[in-house]
Structure 1
């Protein structure tokens, strides 16, 4: 009797063992011309939690398991190199570093695919976004189509007689398709195109293949496609409802909810929730928790959400704000703690940031309106030293805003401490130097006036 019980279990264990082996990838390599002791590998989905690989005596060796083929980051120092990995690859990466360049050579199973990919990436690096943008809009779509069609044809011809992984070939062709689609969708949104026929090219794309998540430009395209569908849905609402707080966020999640493919739907839910937490913190997560509970099931997604939630708790209401030191326009150092006794409205910005500069006049009006009411407006520039004069010229008319800049050596410490993922970012600090809100509304919003009025009436 026992043998009939154990036999299926034994077969299952053999199956699981073989499955794990089939998903394994072996990465080995050498590093020359550098003292670097670490390299790393990461997917494009959770790219800021890389799998670290130790380099010892100029060599490294690592084994990883992947579920599906796709593109990954290979991280060396500050360089991010896109590589292609598929189950069963046994890849050797030889890195030769000089003062000016870093060369990568691939050997072993997966070498032809990755050496081919590096040549393609060099061609793609030559593309100029500004050049494409400078082409008149009516001709731009045709130009993008011809550009990526030529790249795709050249690639097909170059691999025609080679023993190259057909999965890689298929992925790379889709890479060209989605790259073109991403650019066309982006420019369509930027130009506020109302004619739905402009977006007809989307009908020819495969939007329900979960394995395409292994293609980074497919995921970037999805972001823009969701924005298009969102704008389409919002345009059908009356203006009063559309402008209500939180409507846009919920409308976006309802768009994602309608995606057919469960794998893609879960990924989009995860990335959208992640973005909400990064910009609005724990309070933002509460707004969309029902979508998290219903649609985000994979452990890797849920674990990551928990990590960033725990991190956001460090800058949640009541937690002490980092006591940074900034330099004002006269060269004087100012610390945050010197402002204790006042409510502080922090604005992180830069002169090269268009949305930041668009908000600046509203910030000036707000600072004038609340002058003498116990609120200190502080704008913190993260500009490089080369933009110093531009910064001084831009801020010279502000009388009720304390303008500070951060030196390069203290920039990372500041952005890490305040968990700044993008600019503009606004925060509120209380009279004791503790956070009121690490994701405060923008100066142009109606909400910020309500919040400041409530704070000054206490």
Structure 2
């Protein structure tokens, strides 16, 4: 009932506005729809400079005006899932969706329907093409001729989809043709990286042809960088490749070549974004962290970025050998919960992992071997940072792979305090703590790394 009243008021307002001799152009979007099997009370719409939450009513409908500052790409989200939408001032958009089949169930009506229906279908086409791990591996393992044919076929399919969508907005069409080309180039870039060490597959002519296509685009387009993930990936890969070559040529550390080269990046936005990549090198295991931190602070013009890396660097300073370790108290697969205090008087080797992490799973055989050899001297703890929705998947993997040691489930995935305190940005991550709860190594060698056994020997374990 509330939705009908709101719709009536909005319609009346529009009619009243149209009755004036000189009407100002409508500067907002009317976004409405129905959510089947709703899993949240609100729908969120967000963009680079816009954010709004819309109530989903008892009858599963919603309606509100979006006072966007500019036409362009935004995202709507319900619960933990989201989808890209294109909003244009003065155009209405109606959404019908079933959260149990989120992407597959999206349907649009209204003046802006054609553009948004295209975006929704485009996502499904790309997902079917390569977004699963198996399909992506198969694509990258193709011989060059087959690979080129596959990605050209995808590009053609997306072009035909765009044409058949009968979209009137020529700017949107031009952008999408460009973004689809970036997708094509991003697949090419990934393919070359994937097969970098397999020179037998990449003949000289094919390899040269693919590389030439990658260097044929302008890598300084700030607006495309803000919207296209593929273009962002291309800029990042090109810059990183160039700086690795310079690092080798000039015999200087990669981070030094990377940071020094930032002065040549004309766009503040792109430059500040590239700096985010270098934050991975500010870690407890890198003795050059302070130099990297200082250099990034000097180069950055983004105060939010400066605050973030300062917070990260300050955490790392607390993770030096001999300091008290941050603590945890998490659910134990075997029942109850286990804390670091429960493991007092034992060395503790911690593996921070997740069921979806391939490198994590690759370490399991080596970890099992160590657990058998050092069972009496070291407590082996595996802490999963899986999302709560994957709790059952965590249990299933422990059972199927017969994981041993102490298996724990972090209380809030990546946002869990222990994970945050150790400033863990990527997994697997391994930590060694002594009998008194003090840090031995905040970024310890992996189980498959011979240096770990050498460390155990140094500690007379």
- Are the counterparts in 2 of residues 348 and 380 from structure 1 also a CA contact under 8 Å? yes
1:378 to 381, 387, 392: 381
Secondary structure, in 3 states, of the residue corresponding to 2:124?
helix
Which region of structure 1 is more displaced relative to structure 2, 99-108 or 74-83?
99-108
Matched, 1:344 2:344: no
Task: Spell out, residue by residue over 1:394-427, the C-alpha distance to the aligned partner (whole angstroms, 9 max, x if none).
Answer: x5xxxxxx623346xx664686232455421223
Q: Output the CA distance in 2 between the equivalents of 1:385 and 1:370.
A: 25
Matches within 5 A, 1:221-240: 221-233=234-246, 236=249
Q: Output the CA distance in 1 between the equivalents of 2:425 and 2:155.
A: 35
Cross-structure match for 1:320 = 326
Task: Report the CA distance between 1:91 and its aligned residue.
Answer: 4.8
Secondary structure, in 3 states, of the residue corresponding to 2:301?
coil
Cross-structure match for 2:40 = 36
Secondary structure, in 3 states, of the residue corresponding to 1:324?
strand
Matches within 5 A, 1:43-442: 43=47, 51=51, 53-55=53-55, 57=57, 58-59=61-62, 61=64, 63=66, 70-85=72-87, 88=89, 91-97=92-98, 99-100=100-101, 103-106=105-108, 110-128=112-130, 130-131=134-135, 133-134=137-138, 136-158=142-164, 162-164=167-169, 166-192=170-196, 197=208, 198-213=210-225, 214-233=227-246, 236=249, 247-254=253-260, 258-269=264-275, 271-276=276-281, 286-299=290-303, 301-302=305-306, 318=324, 320-327=326-333, 334-349=338-353, 353-360=357-364, 375-380=378-383, 384-392=394-402, 403-406=405-408, 412=412, 416-417=416-417, 418-419=419-420, 421-433=425-437, 439-442=443-446
Task: Report the CA distance between 1:167 and its aligned residue.
Answer: 2.8
Unpaired runs of 5+ in structure 1? 1-20, 242-246, 396-401
Secondary structure, in 3 states, of the residue corresponding to 1:208?
coil
Unpaired runs of 5+ in structure 2? 1-23, 387-392
Mark the CA change 1:201 to 1:414 in structure 2 (over 3 Å): closer, same or farther: closer
- Are the counterparts in 2 of residues 40 and 74 from structure 1 also a CA contact under 8 Å? yes
Which region of structure 1 is more displaced relative to structure 2, 145-154 or 126-135?
126-135
Task: Report the CA distance between 1:306 and its aligned residue.
Answer: 6.2
Q: Output the CA distance in 2 between the equivalents of 1:305 and 1:55.
A: 36
Alignment TM-score, normalising by the size of structure 2: 0.69
- Are the counterparts in 2 of residues 171 and 215 from structure 1 also a CA contact under 8 Å? no
- Are the counterparts in 2 of residues 326 and 333 from structure 1 also a CA contact under 8 Å? yes
Question: Paired residues, what number?
Answer: 406
Cross-structure match for 1:9 = none
Alignment TM-score, normalising by the size of structure 1: 0.69
Q: Output the CA distance in 2 between the equivalents of 1:27 and 1:307.
A: 41
- Are the counterparts in 1 of residues 151 and 187 from structure 2 also a CA contact under 8 Å? no
Task: Report the CA distance between 1:191 and its aligned residue.
Answer: 1.1
- Are the counterparts in 1 of residues 73 and 87 from structure 2 also a CA contact under 8 Å? yes
Task: Report the CA distance between 1:258 and its aligned residue.
Answer: 4.6
Q: Output the CA distance in 1 between the equivalents of 2:86 and 2:295.
A: 32
